[in-house]
Amino acid sequence: MKTNLNILSAKRTPIGTFMGALKDKTSVELGTLASQAAIAESGVEIQDFNHAFFGNVCSSSSADGPYLARHIGLRAGLPQASGAVTVNRLCGSGFEAIIQAQVYLVDGICLVGGAENMSQTPLIIRNAREGFKFASPPPMVDSLWEALTDQYAKMPMGMTAENLASEYKISREDCDRWAALSHQRAAAATDAGHFKKEILSVSLGVDKAGLEKKFEMDEHIRRDSSVEKLAKLKPVFGGVTTAGNASGMNDAGAALVVSSSEYAKAWAQKTSKKPLAKVVGAVAVGCDPTRMGIGPVVAIQKLLLELNWKMSDVDYLEINEAFAAQILAVKKLLELSDEQLNPHGSGISLGHPLGATGARISAHIAHWIAGGNAKRAIGAACIGGGQGIAVAFEAVS
């Protein structure tokens, strides 16, 4: 569908690695930090906010997880009269949150984004409410592993990548080469300052000397990654996928302030600012759950058709790297060159904080366009359960 959303501002936390710097910040806290920064950057009147939409997958990761979007909105200062919706389209949740705002922009502006703390996903005991026999408690299960397993397809997400590797003749060497390239690109983009405008500084308290500890840089990137090092890792599912050529499990929050074109014009005159970019189209489609990683192919093809774009019209393209085998299958079917796809890295190197990923990608694209580096861009992701989502961005004329 065609959309007309203006991105007035976009901020995100640095991405924390699993059990890393952000492990003690709940999803709500991460979303709030990003939201406060995005609102401050936009300079909009707080009473103009109409709704908050936030993507989140692991709602059990904190006590207030089920309230996530509402609590982020309230903590960020939004009016009590504003509404809130927590969105769960799994890996596409951050994108979906942005799209959902389209309906509500007629009544004001929206705060959108995604937040996830995968480090805080709990170990749980199922079926304990009815009690259990003496000395025979039911086993504890990892809710994160369960979330990454499709009970309908009866396989973990990694096996869907193995299916694509077999179908499209993708080798272990191909996967390791792409993973190393992803880390190299993310490190180079960091060094070049390409993420600087979108990332906010997160306070982690004070050290023993009484100095504030600040977290300001994505920590999942492995600068020393190489094909040789990756080749030493054992396959997780007996095929080509390893911990080194799959996306990370991460913690992060991202937020964007979006408005209608009419509001953006009045806001621009008042603040002398310009929207970062526009969201001009979005497509979400279903696919075979056992081949879920192929979802972005149909979504992107349909989006290009609806907008009357060609792939050659797209100046920047990021498709989340769930697994190297998955992204290489998508790359092959879309006939993309190495240079066209993920020039600043993606899920393997930067990380994949589930519900926040789509918002993180959108924030990066918005700033990249605002910097005059692209006129048109697409962000996309495969989605557990068998879906794909793609969102189109354009420079504001």
Amino acid at 332: K
Backbone CA torsion sign across 284, 243, 221, 122: positive
Task: For residue 315, give the DSSP letter.
Answer: S
Count of beta carbons in the 10 Å neighbourhood of residue 93: 29
Q: Which residues of 141-175 are buried (b: 16+ CB within 10 A; e: fewer)?
A: eebbeebbbbeebebbbbbbbbbbbeebebebebb
Taking Cα atoms as reference points, which of 13, 35, 358 lies closest to residue 218?
Answer: 13
Count of beta carbons in the 10 Å neighbourhood of residue 19: 12
d(CA 165, CA 326): 7
Backbone CA torsion sign across 19, 21, 22, 23: positive
Given 58, 175, 287, 382, the catalytic residue: 382
Greatest CA separation found in the chain? 71
Asked if residue 273 lies in contact with residue 10, where contact means CB atoms within 8 angstroms, the answer is no
Is 91 annotated as catalytic?
Answer: yes
d(CA 124, CA 143): 7
For residue 351, CA distances in Å to 186, 211, 246, 356 come to 10, 29, 9, 10
Count of beta carbons in the 10 Å neighbourhood of residue 224: 7
Asked if residue 320 lies in contact with residue 357, where contact means CB atoms within 8 angstroms, the answer is yes
Q: List, as one string, the DSSP characters of 38-92.
A: HHHHHT--GGGEEEEEEE-S-GGGSTTGGGHHHHHHHHTT--TTSEEEEE--GGG
Tokens representing 38? 């995005």
Given 58, 91, 110, 175, the catalytic residue: 91
For residue 218, CA distances in Å to 12, 32, 143, 149, 248 come to 11, 18, 25, 27, 12
Taking Cα atoms as reference points, which of 148, 97, 142, 102 lies closest to residue 122?
Answer: 142
Active-site residue numbers?
91, 382
